[in-house]
Structure 1
């Protein structure tokens, strides 16, 4: 073991004439460097903590205020209006101090209080400015004068060179919408999905709720919004994720793919070495808060809270609820390869292992031919099965001895690395390569991923990589931010030799990775097998289809003067109708990170306007001009709904919190129960690109990511994730279940393609001209109206 290897550096022998003490200079040097690094890290953390704590001011501004106050003493001007003199009269031990010393101390104290007051004034002024969201509702490219003034004020109050967490204290709280507005929007969202009788029943339930317990629940929710930093996020994490007792594999976890077309090296150990080193660089900047905060329009800051738990985080199973365990400053990694678990130290001599050293260590694991211990091969299947059996097995078989030590090593590791033995990745010569790649990342063999870790890094023998992410601690954009940084660092900063190895020399004397030890009795092995069988049944039922839409992309859509996201969402509605012959409740995820501790909100994409457009597309009597006019109306409605969701005026999180509050108060609401039980047969999400400055896609067109995806939400529905890459590519990740006779992911992909092309065909000069002139016929209930 590593600690045993280091122990030989200290030896002593008792002799008749005394003690012969021998110290290894290398060990002493490593101890010294580790100490220096630790103190250097503490100093940097303290410095950055101070910088973030006083932001948007700076420590130097305190000195300026002090100098200004001191200067006033000499020119006999009192800007404090007598407060400096009052402070001097109340100083402790003032009689032992000279008059000049009293004046100086009083001026410094007053200047410090004034400086702190100005900091809080700046923060609350910035918070007030950030509470304004009118800018987001303006048409693209048409910024009003008031918004320009507002934007200038935000820039002025935002300070210079902010750190990752500098804006946290200035972010506004998520507002609680009014019950009337939420219910009105909800009824509007379900109107196209219900017949008249069903709609009237739902409206009656809504009105009964509004007239009975709604005001009481709303009152408590408003009080919570005053007290908590975010009235949604803690309940969302607990009740949507941690209290779920079903398997998190496929049902909750999601995946992110590697570069689509390019593999920097085909050496598995080398690629893993560079990627892990890049992740360690990212973690170091993350711990110090040195990443630049993400800002909309380059100015409006987003919340960074979710990033805090990216590394050294594990979801711990419980009988009733899980908990998210986040640790600090852990310096090892756990690697899984061919049924064996290895512990690998990531630091030596107070520094990260270099890429070449990591490559050497990973190659040692790949070359290790030792056999797995009894029950070790499928051990991780416990994290893929039901949560309650895993919680009970953990308490009974992993609470002491070597099992406890080995489990602690996994759960405290920076993250989990799986060195797979089957190549994956996109191959244009193979029909289903993207499908196989997605399924490997989403569930693998059901026992070669530790699904409880914040994320699993997965390495394939052909050099491809990918990530499987546990969902409770954060949402996809958080991991996407890290992955963009890692891929850019791997390709453009670290690089490889001509032979495909990591650059630099490696210290051959590094201790080998050590095997984790397990003692798994027959009862535990039976529990492992039971979890595996459940997980395998889930994995075998996943029907996945990855589809590259290359006919056009964001560039052409923007020329059509419409939102790319609205364009795709309407194409999905058209594809859904053609695939299923009807409409369904549709979930699109949007973020609420313009607010403190914000996570997500739901955009209900199946609107009355979208339904009218789809029906017109399928109506042979409708002209292209009519369809285009309905498309623009539906796209405008979708954009408005998306903006409402982003600015805290969504529907579903408010209703969710009202439902949780009703359970706490022990009151029953048929309306809320009905709303929360409605299935999302079409669940969609866009994978955003957040750091476009890292890679110039025009200059390096092969360096494009493939995005990521998730499993189907409903047994008889579809899950669709898409990423708009550059100007000419959209990648779709489509999931459903083989067990459903009504769904087929490959068929749905073809329907999406046809829908995209059919909508694009509407944007012809002659159609645009007819719409501009108002020369079209409106279709309603099959009748024509001039």
Structure 2
């Protein structure tokens, strides 16, 4: 992505003097060799690649070996190695700290020293002679004095005591975290039992837990019973079926429950005992990696910039601060300096496995591998039948796309991370480059936007060797991908609808060839300084990317800009320029690129995105209604959908299962009987009291469904895994087949604001994010993402397809707004305030 601005580097001219030649021919040869060696030492190369350059060169001559040491290259090699060893040491230290949690190395010293001191000064042996026996059986005991044997034995017994304490604390904590009764309590009125439980969790959680500290203390995701899952499934589809359809589905369910169900359940139970999580690996493989359709629009999602403010209009400067902030986040994550994520007043920890996946992980379908750090240095590699997630252990560069060209930009110089102004300097060099893309280069990334199988075959045929492989490796092994967009996007108060809709479409798919959709995420910087993200979905869910994005927006405000809009600091006088990636794309490959682009454009042109900054009221007023904000919004979506289409539909709301080890998501089926009763009452215009009663009943039902999903008692992941087992067994289940073929015509998701402390929206209400969104799941359905910002703003992101005669994103948006207002009016807050 970064254009090739090459610096001329005189690596080194120091060389050993050669012995004097005795013949003129030898003198001429020596002179020729000297010139050759001089040219070899004076190289045109980027300083950014100095750490990969040869540290010295040598020539074998009749006079011996002539060495040409390149001091600058040696210096860069030394600094690079030093950086790598520091990183290894930090990872080793973090691994030790996490491995012994909730103990600590300091605790080890306290336990061992206290134990041995007690033994020495009290003249008592709590080990009942074990110390002496251990000391005598040490292989070198015969060379040791009796006191030395007792010291070594005491250390071994103290170590065992320390490990025992750790295991007891860890198992007690796991037992405590397996209890989820606290979810039944209101946070402002916790009963005594829940408060006591919170105190115990705090005590057994240790003093300073790190991001990954709780991983071994989290319980495993439980497998619900087949009977309970079938019962809850039938309850969820009852409002969507007439009596005849429901009786038929009930019979299919009963047959499955009595025959095939127990058999496949046995295998699933076996997996749940053996694997860390019985769902996550199959979910990643079959839902994401085996999909053969485009991941653009269908899978990838986006995140937006601040809604009301753009800190600078200089594209390169915004890129400088943003890229630097992302690299700082990577460093904090690598050092486990990010705090664990909690619920319930920062007491109940959530699983951090998806943060572990942010870096350096290769996922091979069917093989359980360590999942670590997949946000960075990661690419989804296409395959004919299934994709894989490929990683680099460490990546020190980013890939940049601008104006049809790809560049490689090193993020480190002199053994340190580039500063924001230095990154801006590199981006300026790319923007100033006027070279033309080679044939096929400009639209090359369209391969990642189309169907997966043609891309896999093209990759195998045209990108396995030569410069194409080298350039593709530079992109796929980059920390992340940056797209310098040549369009301008921004929220326009005078044209809210058009400006935000255009912005959403650009982030979701762009031109279909200016994003590398296979990368874990793309940072998109627009010409006027606006920015955003496009993220690949298989490696983690939206809250993980949202956590990064909150950090970036917060750091952007802290780093700031000088008066003229540039980053703070000064350009580096000797910083080598970016490297232009080279391609040789044959005509046959260009035809595949055009074919993929045609398919991608057909998909992109069909997407109807619409964004509503709903500022009539927010979380503050909803809480005054003594109703869950999420339940309120979900019921409003049901009312809006019924008004929009005149019918109910199967509704997907994403919830998380990260109270369990390696948990990802579960489905809350928001279209309940209770919600439908409320909607019908609103349509029939029944009394306010009756509608209000039904609304409260529906909200409570939704909360119960959400709690069940979070605590491993959901419906859909269990049914999905039962279906996978049945396919492995070669068994056909009409019940499971029909369940998994039902379309989600309303797919919804809340984007939570996780780091509230980073944004003071009371003092700075302008620093609100627009949130993010995704494409429609069904051809004739809606996708809705929403983010609750402070007490007064809720942003809705709506998507559908123009090709469907049943959907219209703007019409649905109007129905959402009206549904929210109508529901709030039921509570008559104005009259209560007047009283």
When normalised by structure 2's length, the TM-score is 0.90
1:300 pairs, out of 341, 344, 348, with 348
CA distance in 2, matches of 1:582, 1:6: 70
The equivalent of 1:199 in structure 2 is 246
- Aligned pair in 2 of structure 1 residues 11, 415: CA closer, same or farther (>3 Å)? farther
The equivalent of 1:782 in structure 2 is none
Equivalent residues of 2:517, 2:536 under 8 A apart:
yes
Within a 5 Å distance, the mapping from 1:695-714 to structure 2 comes to 695-714=759-778
The equivalent of 2:577 in structure 1 is 512
**1:657 equivalenced with 2:721 (yes/no):** yes
**Matched residue count:** 767
SS at match of 2:195: helix
Equivalent residues of 1:38, 1:350 under 8 A apart:
no
Deviation, structure 1 residue 84? 1.8
1:48 pairs, out of 64, 69, 94, with 94
1:59 pairs, out of 93, 105, 110, with 105
Within a 5 Å distance, the mapping from 1:593-612 to structure 2 comes to 593-612=658-677
The equivalent of 1:491 in structure 2 is 557
The equivalent of 1:715 in structure 2 is 779
CA distance in 2, matches of 1:428, 1:59: 57
2:80 pairs, out of 34, 51, 67, with 34
1:68 pairs, out of 96, 104, 114, with 114
The equivalent of 1:756 in structure 2 is 820
**1:281 equivalenced with 2:328 (yes/no):** yes
Question: Per-residue CA shift, 1:70-111, capped at 9, x if unaligned?
Answer: 113322212223322332342223222211111111000011
Within a 5 Å distance, the mapping from 1:16-35 to structure 2 comes to 16-17=19-20, 26-35=72-81
Equivalent residues of 1:354, 1:506 under 8 A apart:
no
Gaps of 5+ in 2: 21-62, 356-372
Deviation, structure 1 residue 13? 6.7
Within a 5 Å distance, the mapping from 1:550-561 to structure 2 comes to 550-561=615-626
Equivalent residues of 2:651, 2:747 under 8 A apart:
yes
1:325 pairs, out of 367, 373, 390, with 390
CA distance in 2, matches of 1:82, 1:193: 72
Question: Per-residue CA shift, 1:512-545, capped at 9, x if unaligned?
Answer: 1111111111100000000000000000000111
Deviation, structure 1 residue 36? 2.9
CA distance in 2, matches of 1:572, 1:625: 21
**1:478 equivalenced with 2:544 (yes/no):** yes
The equivalent of 1:352 in structure 2 is 417
Question: Per-residue CA shift, 1:272-302, capped at 9, x if unaligned?
Answer: 0000000000001111211111111201111
Q: Which region of structure 1 is more displaced relative to structure 2, 531-540 or 29-38?
A: 29-38
Within a 5 Å distance, the mapping from 1:273-422 to structure 2 comes to 273-297=320-344, 298-307=346-355, 308-422=373-487
CA distance in 2, matches of 1:506, 1:30: 20
The equivalent of 2:316 in structure 1 is 269
Deviation, structure 1 residue 351? 0.5
- Aligned pair in 2 of structure 1 residues 393, 626: CA closer, same or farther (>3 Å)? same
Question: Per-residue CA shift, 1:327-364, capped at 9, x if unaligned?
Answer: 22110111000100011111001111110000000011
Deviation, structure 1 residue 68? 1.6
- Aligned pair in 2 of structure 1 residues 601, 148: CA closer, same or farther (>3 Å)? same
Deviation, structure 1 residue 507? 1.1
**1:252 equivalenced with 2:299 (yes/no):** yes
SS at match of 2:482: strand
Equivalent residues of 2:645, 2:806 under 8 A apart:
yes
Deviation, structure 1 residue 225? 0.5
When normalised by structure 1's length, the TM-score is 0.95
Deviation, structure 1 residue 695? 1.5
Question: Per-residue CA shift, 1:294-333, capped at 9, x if unaligned?
Answer: 1112011111111220000100000010001122211011
Equivalent residues of 1:88, 1:106 under 8 A apart:
yes
1:166 pairs, out of 213, 226, 229, with 213
Deviation, structure 1 residue 121? 1.3
Gaps of 5+ in 1: 770-786
The equivalent of 1:732 in structure 2 is 796
CA distance in 2, matches of 1:315, 1:11: 46
CA distance in 1, matches of 2:276, 2:527: 45
- Taking only aligned residues, the RMSD between alpha carbons, in angstroms, comes to 1.7
Question: Per-residue CA shift, 1:727-760, capped at 9, x if unaligned?
Answer: 1000000000000011000000000000000000
Within a 5 Å distance, the mapping from 1:396-475 to structure 2 comes to 396-430=461-495, 431-475=497-541
Deviation, structure 1 residue 137? 1.9
CA distance in 2, matches of 1:698, 1:142: 26
SS at match of 2:773: strand
CA distance in 2, matches of 1:765, 1:567: 15
CA distance in 1, matches of 2:422, 2:598: 38
Question: Per-residue CA shift, 1:407-454, capped at 9, x if unaligned?
Answer: 111000000000000001211112311100000000000000000000
Deviation, structure 1 residue 609? 0.1
Deviation, structure 1 residue 192? 0.6
CA distance in 2, matches of 1:509, 1:154: 54
SS at match of 2:409: strand
Within a 5 Å distance, the mapping from 1:621-640 to structure 2 comes to 622-640=686-704
The equivalent of 1:157 in structure 2 is 204
Within a 5 Å distance, the mapping from 1:762-781 to structure 2 comes to 762-764=826-828
Deviation, structure 1 residue 114? 1.2
Equivalent residues of 2:7, 2:576 under 8 A apart:
no
The equivalent of 1:224 in structure 2 is 271
